[in-house]
Amino acid sequence: MNSEPFLGPLWRAAGGAGSASLTTVLVAFAANLLVAVAKSVAAVVTGSASLLAEAAHSWADTGNEVLLVIAHRRSRRPPDRAHPLGHGREAYVWSLLAGVGLFVAGAAVSVTHGVQELLHPEPATDFLVGYVVLAVSFVLEGISFLRSVRQARPTAALMKRDLIGAVMASSDPTLRAVFAEDFAALIGLAIATVGLGAHQLTGSSAPDAVGSILVGVLLAAVATVLIDRNREFLVGQEANPRVRTAALQALLAEPEVARVTYLRLEFVGPRLVSVIADVDLTGDERESSVATRLRALEAKIDASPAVAGTVLSLSAPDEPSLTE
């Protein structure tokens, strides 16, 4: 194997050690905290149902960023005897909880308040305050969203996928959560602006209430997608075909390996895979020597920051070779 670590280029393009993901989460936390405070004040001043829904949305996002920081830190703990592949999957546990939080604290609150506003309408006032807060919120959310877009672009280019497809396929749940939440926030702000404007023009709180319900439905949809993706990684998500092809080529480039007959790469954390493969080694040596060579090859692969653990077995003579 050459000096390049196993899956090294893909690991770096996906975010490397994860410092970029942590920065993305911290930027999102700061933006959401400022926005949540501003929206809450504006909701009280104006009495707008849409603004209150957006305030609940931003507070839910702020709490979620805390969970995502916990996910990042706990998933980076080193392996131990009880967890030989490390603690990478903790990232998916805490990110799943963040999705549940978005559903409960964001979606449920927004829909409930919208329905209450329809049943018991109240007029809104000081519309200018609401518009100013919505505009400032759009700028702050946009900054956070652009940060997540900047982080996702290298992965999208390497995977030859569009940006949204790359984010959804990414093994990094913190990037996916921030991207999805900020994207939903920008749409939610547009909905709230339309609802508030319609309230001012018609004098009826019904459009504002409908806006609150629509924001809640949007958050429920985003939360459901995030929960499902984290569930898939928790139960065992195999690496995408491009990563698998790169791994197969890396194995075949090793002088010790004549052919590969089985290969499974499973994500066990953000940018982290376990490698299970059946290989046919070059030469025809006795069993003890072959075992030593296999362990040495496993150690080489394990040295890569993209690999949590490697298990290699010998191929049977009649097993077909993998080509892709």
Task: Summarize pLDDT for 267-312 with one digit per residue, the tens.
Answer: 999 888 999 999 998 877 776 688 888 999 999 999 888 898 999 9
- The pTM of the full predicted model, rounded to 2 decimals, is 0.84
**pLDDT higher than threshold 70 for residue 98:** yes
Return the number of other C-beta atoms located less than 10 Å from residue 240's C-beta: 17
Task: Summarize pLDDT for 126-166 with one digit per residue, the tens.
Answer: 888 889 989 999 999 899 899 889 888 887 887 778 888 88
pLDDT-based confidence at 17, cuts 50/70/90?
low
Task: Summarize pLDDT for 179-198 with one digit per residue, the tens.
Answer: 998 899 899 899 989 988 99
Can you tell me the distance from the alpha carbon of 108 to that of 118, in angstroms, rounded to the nearest whole number?
16
pLDDT at 1: 45
**pLDDT higher than threshold 70 for residue 82:** yes
pLDDT at 21: 78
Q: Could you give the domains of the chain?
A: 8-236 (1.20.1510.10), 241-314 (3.30.70)
pLDDT at 57: 84
Task: Summarize pLDDT for 222-233 with one digit per residue, the tens.
Answer: 999 999 999 999
pLDDT at 50: 82
Assess contact for 194 and 229: CB atoms under 8 A: no
Report the pLDDT averaged over residues 8-35. Answer: 77
Edge-first strand listing for the sheet containing 237-238: 237-238, 257-269, 272-281, 307-314
- For residue 18, the Cα-to-chain-centroid distance in whole angstroms is 12
Assess contact for 218 and 187: CB atoms under 8 A: yes
Return the number of other C-beta atoms located less than 10 Å from residue 48's C-beta: 35
What is the torsional sign of CA 38, 164, 86, 82? positive
Average pLDDT value over all residues in the chain? 87
